[in-house]
Structure formats: structure tokens, C-alpha cells
Structure 1
Amino acid sequence: MRRRHECETPGWQPSELDVEILRLLSRGLTTDAIARRVGVSERTVRRRLRATADEIGVESSIEAVVHAVRIGLI
């Protein structure tokens, strides 16, 4: 059984915060609402989403959410 943050994308080890951001984005929250919910700035949310998308090789945060769903991360 896979641990919570082990995933099928080689080299990608998402943090708890990254997973929570993806989870909240998948539920339709805005970056501002996500920032308030997790206690960081909106800029931090946007930066983490961009870094996640870059790391897994997709073009957008929505594609990152789709990827996370496909691999069972969220």
C-alpha cells in the first residue's frame, strides 16, 4: 500500500501543504480562499501551484489537479 505522499511521478514528493492546496483547488476554491484556509499568502499558493505543475511536467494548476486525481493523491 502506498503511503499518503508517495506517488507515481518519479522524483516528486509533494508536501502536506502542496497536497492540501491541490485538494482545495479540486473542490473549486480560489487561490485567495485556499490561502486563507491554509494560512499562507495568495502569492505562496500561486507559487506552490506553479512549482507543482513544473515538477510534474504539466502546463497548469488544473492539469496538476487532474494528475493528482489520476495517481490517487487526492
Structure 2
Amino acid sequence: MREDGVEQATLVRRTVEDHRENVVPLQARSREAPLSGTYASVELSHEDLELLAEIATGVTTEVAARHLELSARTLRRRIRNICDMLGVNTPIEAVVWAARRQLI
């Protein structure tokens, strides 16, 4: 606090180099991700993995359904079932789950 009663703050800006000891390489992080345990018994079919790979390309549900020769409604239902099996909330989380395990 200054003499006039006004509180003062100092902003400390650290450079990226200062944080290098806290950086974990992406490969190391993916190895640390739990690949067993709760999901050890989850087995996705080839069709499920194909569907996740299609979603991973960023296409819309309708386009993915056309590529996989499914109706959009069937595709959404299958995505929801995959998410439920994996215990995730969104299709993106399911894609990340499969990608971390190098399934897609």
C-alpha cells in the first residue's frame, strides 16, 4: 500500500521460456491418459470406428450419413450409443477418446 492509502499491484509477466519446466510434451501427456480401467472392456466395432473417423473430418451429420450410407437419424442414434458406451457427453469427446488410443 502506498503512503496515500491506495493499494498497488505489480504485474509480473513471465516469458514462455520461464515455463518450460512445466511443459509436458504432447506424446508424454497422451501416454499418461488412462487407457485402461473403466474403459478396458469397451470394444468398438469397425463400423463405430469408421463413423468416428468420419465425424473427426469435421463434416456435418448429414454429409457423414451420406458417406456411410445411413440415414441422418440412424447416424445420430449410433453416435449417441457410442458416447454412452464410452461414458462421454459429446461426439467430439468420443473422437478424442478413439484418437488418443490411436484407433482412428
Partner of 1:48: 78
- State the TM-score, normalizing by the size of structure 1: 0.83
d(CA) in 2 for partners of 1:13, 1:72:
14
- Identity value in percent: 41
Deviation digits for residues 14-46 of structure 1 (CA, Å, limit 9, x no counterpart): 122111110011111111111100111111111
- Aligned partner letter, 1:21: L
Runs of 4+ in 1 over 3 A off after TM superposition: none
Q: Report the Cα offset of residue 10 of structure 1.
A: 2.1
State the distance in 2 between where 1:48 and 1:11 align: 19
**CA RMSD between the two structures:** 1.4
- Number of aligned positions between the proteins: 68
Residue correspondence of structure 1 range 30-69 to structure 2 within 5 A = 30-69=60-99
Instruction: Work out which structure has the larger RCO, using CA pairs closer than 8 Å and 6 or more positions apart in sequence.
Output: 1
Which of the two has higher C-alpha Rg?
Answer: 2
TM-score by length of 2: 0.61
Q: Does 2:51 match 1:21?
A: yes
- Unaligned 5+ residue runs, structure 1? 1-6
What is the aligned partner in structure 2 of residue 3 from structure 1? Answer: none
